Structure 1
Amino acid sequence: MMFTAGLTAREIADRCKQNIATVHLHLRNREKYDPDFFAKHVAALEARGPQRITTKWRRRVKEAQDFYKAHGCLPGRAGDPADYSLAEWIAEQRRLLERNELPRAKIVLLESLPDWSINAQTQEREAQWRNKLALLVDFVVSEQRMPRYRTYATEEEHVLGVWLHNQHQRRTENRLELWKLEALNKAISGWRRCT
């Protein structure tokens, strides 16, 4: 019944905790009684589509879960080849999610991995942005003025002035993310008036 529902022999073996050779033997015997047995399987397998949950895919999720249990984090690209391979697999799942190409069933199974859907590079860029905002607030508090990017007194002021100018440009071009706009408005109420 599982085979005609589209499950592969490997998936059946894994689910039933049987040797794959035993499953193949059973399937060959079953074909003797139902000549359309393999045709039904092929049709059901094709209906599952290219993004179906395969045994190999489930195994990768299990590897990621085991890695997280052992290390308290997801694998990074630095390290041994197995860790790198697993990190790349997780990154591919993340890319599929961002393109809305990851089936809901896979998303549900991946939710057992904390922060799997968060892009580490995006997190790092956002942390750097928050750090610049904190430096800007410190500058405004200590100097009682906004940093300048043209007639600056120090290199620190120049860096902050350029950063603030870029935020202005992104805002006027509607490219500044809403959370960043809100954070700037909350941190420094008059930042829009200064260029």
Structure 2
Amino acid sequence: MKKKTLTPSNIIFAIFIVLLIIPQTRSVLQLAVNKVRVQLFSPSELDREDQTRLQPFSYELQDLKGKSTSIEIGFGNPVFISYWATWCPPCIAELPSIQELYEDYGNQVDFILLTNEDPDVVRGFLREKHYNLPVYSPLMAPPEKLYARSIPTNYVIDANGKILINETGATDWNSKKARAIFDALIRVGQK
């Protein structure tokens, strides 16, 4: 019978597994892994046959101060929708890239970041991270085509309600590829 020896890669793997089991280090490791993922993945536009059109609707929302509002989807403005949470490592990993995108496109694209968390928790998180993202709680069930079972799930919808991007998992929204998609959306809207 051949005796197995410990190799450095086996030791590192074992340490990684142990750290994932310990609650205090699990979220730190998950965030680090997702930050690497963000660096590797940019959003991709859906193939034309996979792009579906939403019936225009008003998304009934509540902002973090408790004020009810509605944002029109499919009525002339491109929209970025993100389902996320403050406790979700992939969400946290991609938020810096969403913030950068929002800073550059927020006056031409409607950004809707949706969470069901306590508004005080969300406000504290945004303040700590220095984000000024438009975060809301939904006051209605999303249309079936925008129903997400996992977070983060993000959608980019054109001015006519066509879903161009449906991306799940941590993604680099500030990539050249994403910016090219947003630039094209804005050009089409200006015609």
Q: Normalising to structure 1: TM-score of the pair?
A: 0.24
* Greater RCO, CA 8 A, separation 6+: 2
Q: Which has the larger radius of gyration?
A: 1
Name the one with the larger helix percent.
1
